[in-house]
Amino acid sequence: MKSHGFFITLEGIDGTGKSTQLRRLVRHLRKQGYTVRATREPGGTPVGEKVRAILMGEKEELSALAELALFYAARAPHVEKVIRPALARGELVVSDRFNDCSFVYQGYARGLGSRTVRLLDRAICGPTQPDLTLVLDLDPRVALERALGRDSGSGTSRFEAAGIEFQRRARAGYLALARREPHRVWVIDAGRSAKEVEADIGRVVDEVLGASRQLSVVSRQFSVRRS
Ligand code: TYD
């Protein structure tokens, strides 16, 4: 089922300020009159939040495959119950992480390979793929410091504890993805002030949404002319 809404995802290694930027982007879009459904992964549904708690709380080392299966277990109801219905209603969906994260973290950084991820992705996400992905890009050392700072007191999460080498691989994975799909994936320099990053994201999103609106007008005119 292809939808009529628009699906934006925010990605990036840990500690790039994604969640703050997502809140600001949602505010920016709502101001322009869009109906926006903001969501996040892992999570987004009651079952998804439970799986998130397992993934975030698990002290025991899980294999990359076990991790992948859990992320997709959380993603399935998220796609079915939240994302697809919102897109079908013509809404704008903005998600803090989505399937690119599995390709980059489990497929690339943890070495599982993209074929296994793709298998699950086809079955679970199918045609529900992001229309626009913003990758917040930051030196892993700076990102890790930010992530550790945010977690002070309670210790770092299992993922953040994966360390700088892991974050480096994940960053390389995101940059490779942006090179492969330059029309969908935009790299945003997250090493600047939150205000500058916010302005940059707003500019990219406005530009892409404007172009997509024009395209849908053209295709409507085209189908009217053809009928
Ligand atoms: P979270 O606390 O949401 O981190 P952030 O605020 O940086 O998004 O934790 C999500 C963690 O889960 C993050 O380290 C990335 C990881 N993750 C995967 O490894 N694969 C996935 O498919 C998803 C969605 C997340």
Q: What is the predicted pLDDT for the residue at 44? A: 87
pLDDT along the chain (227 residues), means of 10: 81 94 98 97 92 82 93 97 97 98 97 97 98 97 79 52 88 98 97 97 96 73 51
Tens-place pLDDT, residues 53-65: 988 876 678 899 9
Distance 96 CA to ligand 1 centre (A): 9
Q: Tell me what pLDDT residue 159 has.
A: 57
- Report CA Rg, the chain: 18
pLDDT of residue 30: 97
> How confident is the model at residue 32, as a pLDDT?
95
Decide whether any atom of ligand 1 lies within 6 Å of the 100 Cβ. no
CA of 133 to the centre of ligand 1 (A): 15
Cα(1)–Cα(88) distance, integer angstroms: 9
Looking at residue 4, what is its pLDDT?
81
| CB 105 less than 6 A from any atom of ligand 1 | yes
Q: What is the pLDDT of residue 68?
A: 97
Q: Of 28, 42, 177, which is closest to residue 97 (Cα–Cα)?
A: 42
Reported pTM: 0.91
What is the predicted pLDDT for the residue at 220? 57
pLDDT at 1: 45
Q: CA 145, 148, 152 angle in degrees (round to 5)?
A: 135
pLDDT score recorded for residue 203: 97
Nearest to 35 by CA among 96, 92, 116: 92
CA end-to-end span of the chain:
23
How far, in Å, CA of 58 to CA of 51, rounded?
10
CA of 94 to the centre of ligand 1 (A): 16
